[in-house]
Structure 1
Amino acid sequence: MASPTSSPIEQGKLPGHVAIVMDGNGRWAQKRWLPRVAGHKQGVESLRGIVKACIERGVPVLSVFAFSSENWNRPAEEVSGLMDLLVMALSREVPSLEKSGVRLHFPGDRSGLSPRVVQGLEAAERGTAHNSKLILNVCFNYGGRWDVVQAARRLAEQGVEITEESLSQATALSHVGDPDLLIRTGGELRISNFLLWQSAYTELVFTECLWPDFDAAELDRAFGEFARRDRRFGRTAEQQADAQPAAGKRHA
């Protein structure tokens, strides 16, 4: 049995799918008298470090909330800066991610995005499709309610009966299991329309740390909290001891 001081990695209790609401970029910039987009740029640096940390720790799936369907309500200058930052990040980061074995997916509604942005997303997905070391879902123009609605609409158009299983398979993240751990940075205590359907049995960890300051040490602290949780999925503790579900799988 692992000692009380052993790490989640040593205990073998790492989450198979980590989801992160990357909050606090704007506040990080404002504290430094910088424009909000400067915080988003620093946030890209933080994401690079967390991707590396997940690969090093053997986490197979990472999903991040990059731009929500509600973020269009932000000031036009900030939205424009985010779109430009996405295009720049795609050109700069994708070659490195491809070499690191990362497979990119961009779940979200692409109908409202510019052709330039859509082309960049599609090219990044094609260029990394052969990788398998880490699946990185960058949820862009994504909303949990949008995901459920588009899944139900797709099934209705196909004449498929809507069940929990069929709806799960029609969501934008059907290529991965449900998240085991959802982390929100920035001190807010809500998930803000992120992975609503998928997070029914997800462990939630909230931290005051602003996203640009979130690093591997903060990630390990969240993993430590996850390792201390007793995940029963509706079972009693005795039943769960005899039937541990695999990480990253869907649970009824």
Structure 2
Amino acid sequence: MIYLGIFNRKQKKVDNKFSIIPSHIAIIMDGNGRWAKKRGLPRTLGHKAGVEAIREIVKECSKIGIEYLTFYAFSTENWKRPQDEVNGLMKLLVQYLKGEFKELDRNNVVINYIGNISKLPEICQEELIKAKNLTKNNTGLTLNLALNYGGRDEIVYSFKNILKAYDQGEFSIEELNEEMISNNLYTKGIPDPELMIRTSGEERLSNFLIWQLAYSEFYFTDVLWPDFKKDDLYLALKTFERRDRRFGGLK
């Protein structure tokens, strides 16, 4: 795990030419509340500002050829937040899907979700399913929204599916392997992230993709999520270029 440190906002713009780019980037969007507090604003306005950052980063990732982009949008633990804030986040989700759908579709983006969305408000479920069905044949960037998602919950979900198959005699204990577990996660068919970005200075996974991030490169920045712009993304990608990825072996 490597901590890069604070991004100097006054430095020259980061070059957007890369010798290698990750096929899948996962992002923990942290700092909306602190961004709002610094400005004497309610947390809900921080989340709205965070949506603007999502819009810019999706656009840039699509432009430079990233294949998969996963945002940690709402965790299984986020239900513990004040009800007004939770309601505001659900409303923002619906507004984002309705407001951005046409542009995302026009730009060939596939809209997908991971997590147990059955616990989300019905209107959220409807908009997510509609967006997924209407963009499933697109061939550009796949945008994964992790909603009511938790890494441990996902592993339990995977094992429940595996145990059902075992009870039906579909495999023996000796045949159980990593591939079987991966194929029963919410992320089935999606390659593991090569780069995980977390904003706001926190340095933990917070129950995000804990199976999938086993060999990912981690990038932490003090920049609060609403302030995370394309140059911040480029800096993360430049750092990724310099990483020596050996996967436990030697080159």
Task: Report if TM-score (shorter chain) is over 0.5.
Answer: yes
Q: 1:27 aligns with which of 30, 34, 41?
A: 34
Secondary structure, in 3 states, of the residue corresponding to 2:196? strand
Q: 2:249 aligns with which of 232, 235, 243?
A: 235
- 1:184-203 superposed matches below 5 A: 184-203=198-217
**1:7: how far off?**
5.2
**1:10: how far off?**
3.8
Q: 2 CA distance for matches of 1:124 and 1:201? A: 31
Tell me which amino acid in the other structure corresponds to 1:69: T
Tell me which amino acid in the other structure corresponds to 2:55: R
Q: 2 CA distance for matches of 1:135 and 1:50? A: 13
Q: 1:72 aligns with which of 74, 79, 93?
A: 79
Match of 1:82 in 2: 89
Match of 1:242 in 2: none
Secondary structure, in 3 states, of the residue corresponding to 1:98? helix
Q: 2 CA distance for matches of 1:152 and 1:174? A: 14
1:170 maps onto 2:214 in alignment: no
- Structure 1 unaligned segments of length 5 or more: list them: 1-5, 238-252
TM-score by length of 1: 0.89
**1:56: how far off?**
1.2
Match of 2:101 in 1: 94
Tell me which amino acid in the other structure corresponds to 1:208: D
1:153-200 C-alpha deviation (Å, 9 max, x unpaired): 011112255320011011111121000000000110001110000000
Contact 1:46 1:214 in 2 (8 A): yes
Q: 2 CA distance for matches of 1:223 and 1:74? A: 33
**1:8: how far off?**
7.2
- Number of positions where the alignment pairs a residue of Structure 1 with one of Structure 2: 231
Q: 2 CA distance for matches of 1:123 and 1:58? A: 25
Tell me which amino acid in the other structure corresponds to 1:147: E
Secondary structure, in 3 states, of the residue corresponding to 2:92? helix
Give the root-mean-square deviation of aligned CA atoms.
1.3
Q: 1 CA distance for matches of 2:239 and 2:98? A: 35
Q: 1 CA distance for matches of 2:229 and 2:128? A: 26
Match of 1:123 in 2: 130
Contact 1:63 1:139 in 2 (8 A): yes
Q: 2 CA distance for matches of 1:119 and 1:48? A: 21
1:211 maps onto 2:220 in alignment: no
Tell me which amino acid in the other structure corresponds to 1:63: T
Compare relative contact order (CA 8 Å, sep 6+) and give the higher one, 1 or 2. 2
1:132 maps onto 2:139 in alignment: yes
- Structure 2 unaligned segments of length 5 or more: list them: 1-13
Contact 2:162 2:181 in 1 (8 A): yes
Q: 1 CA distance for matches of 2:103 and 2:16? A: 28
The list of structure 1 runs, each at least 4 consecutive aligned residues, that deviate by more than 6 angstroms after superposition, is: none
